[in-house]
Amino acid sequence: MQKIGFIGLGIMGKPMAINLLKAGYNLIVFSRTSIPAEELIEKGATKALSVAEITKVCGTIITMLPDSPQSEEIIIGENGIIQTAKKGALVIDMSSINPIISIKIGEKLASKGIDFLDAPVSGGEQGAIEGSLAIMVGGRKEAFERAIPIFKTLGSSYFLIGENGAGNFAKLVNQIIVTINIAAISEAFILAKKAGLSPTLVYNAIKNGYAGSKVLDSKLPMIVNRDFKPGFKIDLNKKDLQNVMNAGSALNVPLPLTSIVLEILKSISCAGNGNLDNSSIVNFYEDMSKIIVKE
């Protein structure tokens, strides 16, 4: 089976790597922290001590990193993939980063004869575990077709949207909709609770109408059960919305709702709760309203 390098074994990366192992891929992993790498070694992966160890033996390399600086460093940095990857290799960055950086990375790799796909995902930790991620892809059609077997293992949908950068632009669109939806749910159920209503009964009454959504279905139970264990951290969501605002500024697009929700995320992060799940946006409203959304 094909050898694949996998760099970045966090909340999302680790279960994605596990699914590739389950599918029979020969996986070589690299992580700056040893614990997730050791867990994957127990499941059959090989541990690399450097990026170069991966590029020497893998024609396909996947990265799943926190933000743009990490993707730049690992892929096109001084000791990055670009320095030792073979001509004809395929790099798939599944990180959610600034699309302008994805375009830059793609151009630099292309100059070395290396294919590049920016392929951020949506679906959170649960989607990564289940292999049901939505994958948004930017890059050459030929490179996308090479990656389809991998995408089939990791996701339930995968679409080539355009050239490099298109995947991350699509992810920014996704993050606007998801995060504003969570804020709207929080605001709405604060009102329901203040009115003396059962959040669960209100949810059951509205979930099959136009207010229904996957976000409502997944986040309201977490809110009601006070379960803010991170599937997608506030700080990562904040990073994504900051990338949205940066892109909006570059394209001269006004984004008033996004800017408000970004300030809410900043407030939560400043209070020391950036590691909570983004469903904890409700805490911002609860603190203002002096009421808790629970049964």
The token pair at 85 is 């990857």
pLDDT category of residue 137 using cuts at 50, 70 and 90: very high
Length of the chain: 295
How far apart, in whole angstroms, are the C-alpha atoms of residue 165 and residue 72?
14
| pLDDT per residue as tens digits for the range 213-231 | 999 999 999 999 999 999 8
Single-letter amino acid, residue 208: N
The token pair at 223 is 């809110």
> What's the CATH class of domain 170-289?
mainly alpha
Q: Where are the alpha helices (DSSP H) in 33-118?
A: 34-42, 51-55, 68-76, 81-84, 99-110
How far apart, in whole angstroms, are the C-alpha atoms of residue 210 and residue 226?
25
What is the domain partition of the chain in residue ranges?
Answer: 3-163, 170-289
Active-site amino acid positions: 171
Q: What does the pLDDT average to over 11-39?
A: 91
How far apart, in whole angstroms, are the C-alpha atoms of residue 194 and residue 138?
45
- How many C-beta atoms surround the C-beta of residue 176 within 10 A? 18
pLDDT category of residue 31 using cuts at 50, 70 and 90: confident
| pLDDT per residue as tens digits for the range 139-184 | 999 999 999 999 999 999 999 999 999 999 999 999 999 999 999 9
How far apart, in whole angstroms, are the C-alpha atoms of residue 156 and residue 148?
11
Quote the mean pLDDT of the chain. 96
Single-letter amino acid, residue 197: L
Structural fold of domain 3-163: Rossmann fold (3.40.50)
